[in-house]
Structure 1
Amino acid sequence: MQEVYIVDSTLRDGEQAPGVVFDFREKVTIAKLLDRLGVYQIEAGIPVMGEVEQAAIKTIADLGLKSRVSTWNRLLLADIRASLGCGVKDLHISAPVSDIHIYYKLVKSRRWVLDCLKRALRYAADYGCRVTVGAEDASRADESFLLEFALLAQEMGAERLRYCDTVGVLTPFSLSRVIGRLKETLTIEIEFHGHNDFGLATANSLTAVKEGVRYIDTTIGGLGERAGNTCLEELAGALKGTCGIDLGLNGRVLRALSRYVARGANRPLISG
């Protein structure tokens, strides 16, 4: 049976939901509960955001959790230095790969993205970091550039490529095709990060798993920017019911965590 590893982003992408701000105690408690739940990795936040975020991340990193604790970083060395200052050497480095983001959002070039990625990965390697690389807005990227970007990440030692459906425009059919093409060329592990703008985040995550992707990003209750991310509770049930894959999560802890996050985010509880 295929193993599936959950990379939970409740404390990063989940907190980007409108009106959601977890305080220091809530962040640390959510991290502890995610660890007891049994997720593979906890994306604890964005250190470069400032001292309040850094204090929570450092505390979480110092807990000695079984789950991997990582941070989210842009291509900038200042972001990586902020993560290192929190005592975190498990880094996710995210870069725009669609021309919409590169040219119109950042007013940069494809060459700038590749050069910055190379510099960031070298810098992280100098400090002994474990790195995953995110292809931001991959679902709207030119496929040849996405592949060039992915091959660079692979050649420079990144552990995984995070394929981000940043604005939730993929369908299971289109995702199946693109994952298949990537896996034909790449040896690096692929991670899928889905958004729910058209209600397809769970369906797309299931499709990714069926295409052999072993790492899936989630948030508790589907929290996240705009319509949210792949909901962990929903995905866990769907994987077991449709694929026969049991994530091995502690059901009692999941129910408690769902209630805790819903209360902290002032959102309705989606699972009892």
Structure 2
Amino acid sequence: MKRRIKIVDTTLRDGEQCPGIVFSPSDKIRLALYLDSIGIHEIEAGIFDTGTEGCNYIGEIMKRKKQAIISVWSRLNAGDIEESARQKPDLIHIGTPVSYSQIYNKLGKNKKWIENTLQECIKVAKDYNIPITVGLEDASRADVAFLTSLIRLIKQQGVEVIRLADTVGVLFPRRARTLIQEIKQTGIQVEVHEHNDFGMAVANSMVMALAGADMVDGTLLGIGERAGNCNLYEFVHGANRKLELGVTSQDIRKAEDLLKSIMAGGVRDDTSD
């Protein structure tokens, strides 16, 4: 039997970081409900921000979806976690910088601050009884010993899934496979999130899925920050031969057609029914 892995669509969050791409709340509802209808396991609906016009679209998606898990992304900040939790999503992703470049240079913090702040954020989510995924940002450039130490720490807090993010798209397949094998030794469930800066997002995602990853992220048409993300159609088309994904490449193609229509200014559905 084929091993089952889960597909996570991040078109509404990471895909919207593509230059020139802006989705209206009604666009997001329409896309999310279509992705839900074709069997996508999880839909990352965006970043909750009370200052954003139409931010209540997340609640609308939650009311109308049938089967998919709806997640929101949050910074490593207890206040942001609380704001996200108040929207009552199925899941919160906590973006957690783990490379020394991001911890020391970008944030001006240290490893102990990451550990303490992450535990504080986990506690807030627990108070609201909302499951979380810890997104290990820039994991492809991080020290593996620190990664595994942090994973063991958060497992003690009840975290079951981490997102292994190749944030700047530097992985190549051989290292991608090895990294999965190293992280899986901790016993945590692994979701992989590939960027396409060197054109390796689909190849890396395929290799990591075959090496034991439990979930694979991607976007429709491969849109996303800089060079984009793992192209869902290309991944599903190739991986369906070896893995059970719960969605077909034909359905992904139809979702791409809907996205193209939206990007071209197509007629939007009435979201009030």
The alignment yields a C-alpha RMSD, in angstroms, of: 1.7
Distance 1:52 1:104 in 2: 32
| Aligned 8 A contact 2:222 2:228 in 1 | yes
Matching of residues 16-165 of structure 1 within 5 Å: 16-48=17-49, 50-52=51-53, 54-165=55-166
Gaps of 5+ in 2: 266-273
- The residue number in structure 2 matching 1:247 is 245
Distance 2:112 2:264 in 1: 43
Shift of 1:48: 2.6
For 2:80, the aligned partner's letter is D
Q: Does 1:196 align with 2:196?
A: yes
- The residue number in structure 2 matching 1:166 is 167
Aligned-residue sequence identity (percent) comes to: 38
Distance 2:245 2:234 in 1: 12
Distance 1:48 1:262 in 2: 26
Distance 2:76 2:66 in 1: 27
Q: Compared with structure 1, are the counterparts of its residues 250 and 171 closer, same or farther at alpha carbon in structure 2 (3 Å cutoff)?
A: closer
State the TM-score, normalizing by the size of structure 2.
0.92
- The residue number in structure 1 matching 2:6 is 5
Secondary structure at the counterpart of residue 23 of structure 2? coil
For 2:245, the aligned partner's letter is L
Structure 1 window deviating more from structure 2 (174-183 vs 251-260): it is: 251-260
For 1:245, the aligned partner's letter is L
- The residue number in structure 2 matching 1:229 is 229
- The residue number in structure 2 matching 1:257 is 255
Q: How many residues end up aligned between the 2 structures?
A: 264
Secondary structure at the counterpart of residue 11 of structure 1? coil
Q: Give per-residue Cα distances to partners, 1:175-206, cap 9 Å, x unaligned.
A: 1112111222x111011000000000010001
For 1:261, the aligned partner's letter is L
- The residue number in structure 2 matching 1:216 is 216
Distance 2:221 2:160 in 1: 27
Gaps of 5+ in 1: 268-272
Q: Give per-residue Cα distances to partners, 1:221-266, cap 9 Å, x unaligned.
A: 111100111111000111124xx32424255543331012123345
Shift of 1:80: 1.4
| Aligned 8 A contact 2:42 2:69 in 1 | yes
- The residue number in structure 2 matching 1:270 is none
Shift of 1:32: 0.7
For 2:148, the aligned partner's letter is L
Q: Give per-residue Cα distances to partners, 1:8-57, cap 9 Å, x unaligned.
A: 10000000111110111110000011001101001001003634352111
For 1:202, the aligned partner's letter is V
More helix by share: 1
Secondary structure at the counterpart of residue 112 of structure 1? helix
Shift of 1:89: 4.4
Secondary structure at the counterpart of residue 39 of structure 1? coil
